[in-house]
Structure 1
Amino acid sequence: TVSAWCYFAVFALAKYPDIQQKIHEDVMKHAPTTGPITMERIEKMEYLYAFLMEALRVYPPIGLIVRLNRDEENFKGYRIPPHTTLYVPVYLLHRHPKYWDDPEAFRPERWLSPDSKDGQKPPRQTGTRGYTFVPFNAGPRNCIGYQFATMETQMIVATLVRSLRVEIAPSQRDVEFSLTSMVTTKAKPAVEVVVKKR
């Protein structure tokens, strides 16, 4: 899932150059090119974190969660027998207008708390947000590697953005991308980017 998360983070960086610039400024503020990018510095990068949460919302690495219930359940008047296969459509849940303002817009600011201050992260999502944000599942069977994956992705994107700029390849500037999901989410057609030194 980290590779899918990074793939779509790079896609979003290329697709939204103004957001990419804000992330670059956030990274440079806390980890200028002369210093190493440490986790202590990463922890202060509010906008980077907000961007990565938004990338997870809009482009969830796993588009569908499948579970089997052990016991009989009753959900809104519907009886669900034991051992029923249940599907959670993560992609649809993350874009549902009942739960998200302007759900089709890519807006990292939705993850920033209004009172966040320099060096203070927006409230960390526990993987749920009322079970409307579940990129790594939720509850007792959520992904045990979620925090490590988050740290790894923050480090990769911060390192990339600090010294490089990504753009959509000229051959794809007018291409409409769609998402497909079997096990992990993929863009169709595959995204091509151009990487330039800052």
Structure 2
Amino acid sequence: MSPQDTRNATPVKVPLVTQPLGILGSLNAARSNILSIIPEIATRQPMVSGRTAKRWHMVMDPDAIKRMLLENLDSYPKSLVTKNLLKPAIGESLFIAEGAHWRWQRRTAAPVFSHRNVMNLAPVMSAAAERSAARIGEAGPRAVDVAQDMVRTTFDVIADVTFSGDGMFDAEGVHQGIDAYIAEAGKISLLDVLGAPDWVPRPGRLIHSRGPVRDMHRIADEAIEARRARGADGVPDLLDLLLQGEDPKTKRQMNTAELRDNLLTFIVAGHETTALTLSWALYLCAFDPRVQEKARAELADVLGERTTVTGEDVANLPFIRMIVDEALRLYPPAGMVSRTAVANDILCGREVRPGDTVMIPIYALHRHHMLWEDPDTFRPERFGDRKAIPRYGYLPFGDGPRICIGASFAIQEAVIILGTLLSRFRFTPVAGREPKPVMILTLRPDGGVWLEAEPLAGPHSPSREEAA
């Protein structure tokens, strides 16, 4: 597609519903693509409400979202659906815990993701980017599923920065186990849609939460105890930093089970969400060659003869960061978040009662016609003036006290990997193989992201003839 063509075209999107679905229709839609239950009107109204066995609300108004995520946080804990889905795998980790149990864990873990610690881990990200570039280059003129490679690349990063390649920890086995659990047991049950209490068994989750999850917990526990006995060696990794961490208020430290649950959360969430961001960013760059060439010009100015982005380069690559931000706007990995109201409240002048499901459909929020100009259009430059971005209208990492603890880690990693790949290859789409955005737990490109990658002339990039 030429730069001229992209002016009148939009990248792939989820078709939103225009008619009520009913209970069974909602269940079937949610099991195949959660975002397909969002009514199209949610991209034009501040709040949409309805009833599907129980009362629900979708909130797109930034002021109301601020109330949910900041001003009245304790009245909107994570929904029972979310907890039922993830708790067997990651326990009462930061992602699920509420109240005081969440607060002390957050205070303990926050220093782990300080700017200094994240910068210390940048060489791991640069090395993984180089290995990705080598794999893509070896594919020659054939099309490459960059989504698959991004999963491998970001998994390499999280495995290295979590356990420093510790041979005692089968990180890939742990990831595959959790991924299988989510794929099989994480599908929404009719019991969830009907609002059944969490003590009612969900058979699929019971089956898949036993052997694989028990084995993962055992493997992680053994690795943590071994590291506790051995101590840190070299640049501290995430496990070292968490072992050293303590709550500044209570001086409490995480025990083995708490460390395990949080590390499993970081391993799974920390690599898949960044892999998805990079996959969609590469698709969008291939979709619009103008953006790709502008990014490459910035890279040439900053890197010179180099083709690998380092941690020090990240602050000097604002346009690469804008591409990442725009990919997160159009395809947020967590395209919808759900809360269960526990107290009476008023949002957008509408009554919210205890027990109501209150959703923030981030996918619709990021494409809302009252908040974004040409919301379905790929336009990274809209992030050139960050003050113009509505604070609670852009939530790729959430906001308020529960904003994603690893946001800076993810952004740094995405800029390093995306910049390194764009400095070495020119990406073009493969006709007839557009990805399909589908969300079960995260917003994935169904069918992969198939692109052709033409090596560029440079000190570390072979010509197409050499690559062949």
- TM-score band, normalised by the shorter chain? 0.7 to 0.9
Q: 1:151 aligns with which of 412, 426, 432?
A: 412
Q: Which residue in the other structure is 2:27 paired with?
A: none
Secondary structure of the 1:34 match is coil
Give me the identity figure in percent.
29
RMSD: 2.1
Q: 2:438 aligns with which of 161, 180, 194?
A: 180
1:21 aligns with 2:293: yes
- Offset of residue 184 of structure 1: 0.9
Paired with 1:37 and 1:187, the residues of 2 have a C-alpha distance of: 26
- Offset of residue 78 of structure 1: 2.2
Note if contact 2:436-2:447 (Cα within 8 Å) is conserved in structure 1: yes
Paired with 1:143 and 1:83, the residues of 2 have a C-alpha distance of: 25
Paired with 1:95 and 1:72, the residues of 2 have a C-alpha distance of: 29
Paired with 2:433 and 2:275, the residues of 1 have a C-alpha distance of: 23
Deviations 1:170-198 (A, max 9, x none): xxx24555422111112344321122211
Paired with 1:31 and 1:78, the residues of 2 have a C-alpha distance of: 53
Deviations 1:138-158 (A, max 9, x none): 111111111110001001101
Q: 1:64 aligns with which of 317, 320, 336?
A: 336
- Offset of residue 96 of structure 1: 0.8
- Offset of residue 83 of structure 1: 4.1
1:139 aligns with 2:397: no
Matches within 5 A, 1:39-188: 39-113=311-385, 123=386, 129-169=390-430, 173-174=431-432, 177-188=435-446
- Offset of residue 45 of structure 1: 1.0
Paired with 2:306 and 2:444, the residues of 1 have a C-alpha distance of: 36
2:292 counterpart letter in structure 1: Q
Paired with 1:145 and 1:75, the residues of 2 have a C-alpha distance of: 29
Secondary structure of the 2:338 match is strand
Secondary structure of the 2:409 match is helix
Secondary structure of the 2:420 match is helix
Secondary structure of the 1:103 match is coil
Task: Provide closer, same or farther for how the CA distance between residues 37 and 179 of structure 1 changes in structure 2, counting only shifts above 3 A.
Answer: closer
Note if contact 2:307-2:423 (Cα within 8 Å) is conserved in structure 1: no
Deviations 1:33-85 (A, max 9, x none): 33753222220112111111111111111111112334321113322123432
Note if contact 2:308-2:419 (Cα within 8 Å) is conserved in structure 1: no
Note if contact 1:65-1:137 (Cα within 8 Å) is conserved in structure 2: no
Paired with 1:22 and 1:130, the residues of 2 have a C-alpha distance of: 27
Secondary structure of the 2:316 match is coil
Paired with 1:36 and 1:163, the residues of 2 have a C-alpha distance of: 9
Q: Which residue in the other structure is 2:304 paired with?
A: 32
Q: Which residue in the other structure is 2:280 paired with?
A: 8
- Offset of residue 160 of structure 1: 0.7
Paired with 2:426 and 2:433, the residues of 1 have a C-alpha distance of: 20
Secondary structure of the 2:392 match is coil
Larger Rg: 2
Deviations 1:105-125 (A, max 9, x none): 101111113xxxxxxxxx489
Paired with 1:149 and 1:124, the residues of 2 have a C-alpha distance of: 21
Paired with 2:437 and 2:306, the residues of 1 have a C-alpha distance of: 38
2:401 counterpart letter in structure 1: P
Secondary structure of the 1:61 match is coil
Note if contact 2:433-2:450 (Cα within 8 Å) is conserved in structure 1: no
Q: Which residue in the other structure is 2:198 paired with?
A: none
2:282 counterpart letter in structure 1: V
Is 27-36 or 87-96 further displaced after alignment? 27-36
- Offset of residue 9 of structure 1: 0.9
Q: Which residue in the other structure is 1:190 paired with?
A: 448
Secondary structure of the 1:22 match is helix
Note if contact 1:59-1:91 (Cα within 8 Å) is conserved in structure 2: yes
More strand by share: 1
Paired with 2:448 and 2:375, the residues of 1 have a C-alpha distance of: 23
Q: TM-score, normalised by structure 1?
A: 0.84
Note if contact 1:69-1:82 (Cα within 8 Å) is conserved in structure 2: yes
More helix by share: 2
1:150 counterpart letter in structure 2: I
Secondary structure of the 1:165 match is strand
Paired with 1:138 and 1:195, the residues of 2 have a C-alpha distance of: 36
Paired with 1:25 and 1:76, the residues of 2 have a C-alpha distance of: 45
2:321 counterpart letter in structure 1: Y
Note if contact 1:30-1:41 (Cα within 8 Å) is conserved in structure 2: yes
Paired residues, number? 184
Secondary structure of the 1:99 match is coil
Paired with 1:141 and 1:72, the residues of 2 have a C-alpha distance of: 21
1:77 counterpart letter in structure 2: G
Paired with 2:323 and 2:335, the residues of 1 have a C-alpha distance of: 19
